[in-house]
């Protein structure tokens, strides 16, 4: 035993972040070398170049000069990309959806603005202003909105980034709040500001061109309408695009399929938007058979108003994208939670124990701890390189094939007994099904790994369906891991107990208090993993709710536009005896019917998003099986109806202030 004097307390970050194998501390190098009998020697050397451009030449030179040693970057670009993609890619997907919805919202907002400004534009045109001048005024207004929105968005974005960084850096080992240090590039702020202006201007072009094409006489007499001519039927192109986006990813390798799926999300969203008019027409025909029995004549009138109503189609489109994105995030979150539960149900042991010097003798001693009934010692090698490839295996488990299924159900594929016999017959290996698909492996192939004693060939005898460590693991007989990696001690042990696992775990800690032992129960492992995943999904769910909120604003705008463009028609209905209550009923039935359509199309769109997301997750080394929960799809349909109803309440109340004579007068 050696006694140390505590010189200072450091934050549990970086090299000192506690892991599953215990806690870390910094001690003088010379003192530690003397204690372990390695005076004058080191186990690792960290090198820093004076010029970043010299990293690769220095790496090559050192590798050639010290061929017996492993020379590598502290962290490679591929490893950094793999770590950051897990966070970056989901937010990029959400960004695409937010931008698509923002375009619709800005478009509908400008329609409201221009509908209210039509009399002013008519006055300008009547006193000599040309169409070009009025267009420039409106485009300048949209540019100003874009600049203001961009500045406010950048300021709000920085605040949100601080909250995200604070949440992701929150450390369960540190009771003090994390020291958030956010670094952002002014270039990205400029891109965001420019993007806001471009989005605002482009989204306002269609409403502005409406003013350009409207004759002055129609503006003055208020005889223009907002329905427009018939649009081209895009059903067939939409179906072709959907078939291509569904069929393409399975035909290409895993990583390429992930890239295609990200593009497929954008193309598929466009196809879904194109399919909304024919789907709406189908629902209208069904409604015409049902609605009269539920809502009477007002229901019939409401359903007829939906057909070919551009504002209603825009509402359905906005709600579809918003609901689909919400369903996407909630389903993935639900699937991850279920996967975590399934993984930990595969654990047949009760306590996981780390000790720096686990051998047969220590294993026997730990089995004598009260409550412990049996144990299995395991070797684990991390980030093992595959010869002739840039890929790395996350974890290599050296484990006894005769006993491993008693402690962990690795979900071996095919004939389990035959696989285990082959596994114990020589230098063999069992990769996961994830690695099988990723590396295109087959039973009987040879997989060459770089070990401490050189490159070693292992024969593939089967595959495991587990997604432990995101499925990036392989199983190798313990004796070959011991010899090939020159391991003197096991990495950790799995224990079974006949009492409370927490009590047995604490007993192990108490018995080996001075030996840097680390012990944790299966339930504690599951809870820690769940908390880590929840940090990410809370942020993503927040983004999906923001997307939905943006969509609700767009739906509200569309209802306002619908009321403004139908003032004359609504006044006619009032003049022939329709009551205020009947008018509100018509508008609410319209909203309910449109919301149900959006709920159904949002569920179908969310299903499409989930299929594409499965390939994207695979490309990010996250082989999560998507679980399609019927309850979440039903909730999506109900949410569409409720959101549409609430969004229509405000515009419906505006009809109470309708001036019948003013709206009916022609000249």
Q: How many residues does the chain have?
A: 667
Task: Look at 11 and 627; give whichever has higher pLDDT.
Answer: 627
Task: Look at 367 and 177; give whichever has higher pLDDT.
Answer: 367
* pLDDT in the model for residue 216: 65
In the predicted model, what is the mean pLDDT of residues 598-617? 88
The answer to whether the Cα torsion of 625, 627, 628, 634 is positive or negative is negative
Q: Using 50, 70 and 90 to split pLDDT, how confident is the model at 168?
A: low
**DSSP character at residue 453:** T
- Tell the residue number behind the tokens 């390695």, with chain if given: 38
Q: Which of 135-144, 255-264, 361-370, 402-411 has the least mean pLDDT?
A: 255-264
In the predicted model, what is the mean pLDDT of residues 75-93? 70
In the predicted model, what is the mean pLDDT of residues 320-348? 81
- Counting residues of the chain whose pLDDT is more than 70, the rounded percentage is 85
Task: Look at 251 and 28; give whichever has higher pLDDT.
Answer: 28
Determine contact, residues 101/321, Cβ cutoff 8 Å: yes
Q: Which of 47-56, 133-142, 563-572 has the least mean pLDDT?
A: 563-572
* pLDDT in the model for residue 477: 93
Radius of gyration for the alpha carbons in the chain, expressed in angstroms and rounded: 32
pLDDT tens, position by position, 437-483: 888 899 999 999 998 888 999 999 999 988 888 888 999 999 999 99
* pLDDT in the model for residue 382: 87
Q: Using 50, 70 and 90 to split pLDDT, how confident is the model at 231?
A: low
* pLDDT in the model for residue 399: 93
Q: Using 50, 70 and 90 to split pLDDT, how confident is the model at 418?
A: very high
Determine the 3-state secondary structure of 494 from DSSP: strand
For 84-147, the DSSP string reads: HHHHHHHHHHHHHHHHHHHHHHHHHHHHHHHHHHHHHHHHHHHTT--HHHHHHHHHHHHHHHHH
Element (H, E) at 656: none
Q: Using 50, 70 and 90 to split pLDDT, how confident is the model at 227?
A: very low
pLDDT tens, position by position, 571-586: 777 777 777 788 888 8
Q: Which of 187-201, 205-219, 372-386, 493-507 has the least mean pLDDT?
A: 205-219
**Closest to 510 in 3D by CA, of 372, 407, 380:** 372
In the chain, what are the domain boundaries?
Answer: 14-75, 76-224, 234-345+529-667, 346-527
**pLDDT of 430 above 90:** yes
* pLDDT in the model for residue 151: 92
* pLDDT in the model for residue 596: 92
In the predicted model, what is the mean pLDDT of residues 73-100? 72
CA distances from 416 to 273, 404, 426 (A): 48, 12, 17
* pLDDT in the model for residue 667: 47
């Amino acid at each position: 035993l050696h006694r140390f004097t505590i010189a200072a307390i450091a934050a549990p970050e970086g090299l000192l972040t506690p892991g599953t194998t215990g806690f870390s501390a910094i001690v003088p190098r010379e003192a530690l070398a003397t204690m372990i009998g390695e005076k004058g020697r080191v186990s690792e050397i960290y090198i820093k170049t004076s010029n970043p451009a010299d990293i690769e030449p220095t790496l090559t030179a050192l590798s050639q000069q010290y061929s017996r040693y492993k020379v590598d970057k502290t962290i490679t670009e591929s490893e950094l990309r793999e770590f950051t993609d897990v966070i970056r890619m989901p937010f990029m997907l959400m960004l695409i959806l937010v931008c698509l919805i923002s375009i619709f919202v800005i478009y509908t907002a400008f329609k409201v603005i221009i509908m209210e400004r039509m009399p002013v534009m008519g006055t300008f045109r009547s006193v000599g202003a040309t169409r070009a001048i009025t267009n420039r005024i409106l485009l300048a207004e949209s540019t100003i909105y874009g600049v203001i929105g961009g500045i406010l968005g950048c300021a709000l974005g920085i605040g949100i980034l601080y909250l995200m960084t604070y949440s992701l850096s929150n450390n369960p080992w540190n009771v003090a709040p994390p020291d958030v240090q956010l670094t952002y590039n002014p270039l990205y702020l400029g891109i965001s500001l420019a993007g806001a202006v471009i989005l605002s201007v482009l989204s306002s072009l269609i409403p502005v061109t409406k003013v350009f094409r409207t004759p002055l006489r129609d503006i003055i007499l208020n005889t223009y309408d907002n329905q427009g001519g018939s649009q081209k039927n895009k059903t067939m192109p939409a179906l072709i695009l959907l078939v291509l986006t569904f069929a393409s990813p399975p035909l290409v390798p895993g990583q390429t399929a992930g890239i295609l799926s990200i593009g497929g999300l954008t193309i598929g969203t466009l196809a879904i938007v194109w399919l909304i008019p024919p789907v709406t027409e189908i629902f209208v025909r069904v409604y015409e058979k049902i609605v009269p029995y539920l809502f009477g004549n007002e229901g019939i009138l409401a359903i007829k108003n939906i057909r070919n109503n551009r504002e209603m189609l825009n509402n359905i489109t906005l709600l579809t994208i918003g609901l689909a994105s919400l369903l996407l995030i909630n389903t993935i979150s639900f699937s991850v939670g279920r996967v975590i539960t399934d993984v930990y149900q595969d654990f047949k042991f009760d306590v996981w124990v780390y000790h720096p010097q686990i051998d047969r003798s220590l294993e026997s001693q730990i089995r004598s701890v009260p409550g412990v009934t049996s144990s299995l010692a395991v070797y684990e090698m991390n980030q093992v390189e595959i010869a002739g490839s840039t890929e790395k295996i996350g974890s290599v488990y050296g484990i006894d094939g005769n006993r491993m299924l008693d402690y962990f159900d690795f979900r071996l594929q095919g004939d389990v007994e035959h696989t285990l016999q082959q596994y114990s017959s020589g230098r063999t290996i069992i990769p996961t099904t994830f690695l099988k698909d990723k590396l295109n492996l087959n039973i009987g192939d040879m997989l060459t790994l770089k070990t401490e004693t050189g490159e070693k060939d292992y024969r593939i005898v089967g595959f495991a369906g587990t997604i432990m460590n995101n499925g990036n693991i392989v199983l190798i007989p313990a004796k070959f891991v011991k010899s090939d990696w020159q391991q003197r001690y096991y990495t950790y042990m799995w224990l079974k107990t006949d009492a409370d696992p927490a009590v047995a775990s604490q007993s192990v800690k108490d018995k080996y208090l001075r030996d840097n032992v680390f012990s944790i129960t299966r339930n504690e492992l599951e809870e820690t993993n769940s908390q880590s995943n929840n940090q990410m999904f809370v942020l993503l769910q927040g983004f999906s709710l923001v997307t939905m909120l943006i969509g609700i604003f767009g739906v509200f705008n569309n209802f306002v536009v619908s009321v403004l463009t139908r003032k004359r028609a609504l006044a006619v209905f009032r003049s022939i005896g329709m009551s205020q209550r009947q008018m509100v009923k018509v508008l609410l039935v319209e909203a309910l019917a449109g919301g149900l359509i959006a709920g159904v199309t949002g569920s179908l769109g969310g299903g499409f998003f989930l299929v594409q997301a499965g390939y994207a997750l695979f490309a990010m080394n996250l082989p999560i099986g998507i679980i399609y929960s019927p309850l979440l799809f039903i909730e999506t349909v109900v949410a569409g109806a409720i959101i549409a109803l609430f969004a229509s309440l405000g515009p419906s109340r505006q009809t109470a202030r309708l001036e019948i004579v003013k709206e009916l007068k022609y000249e």
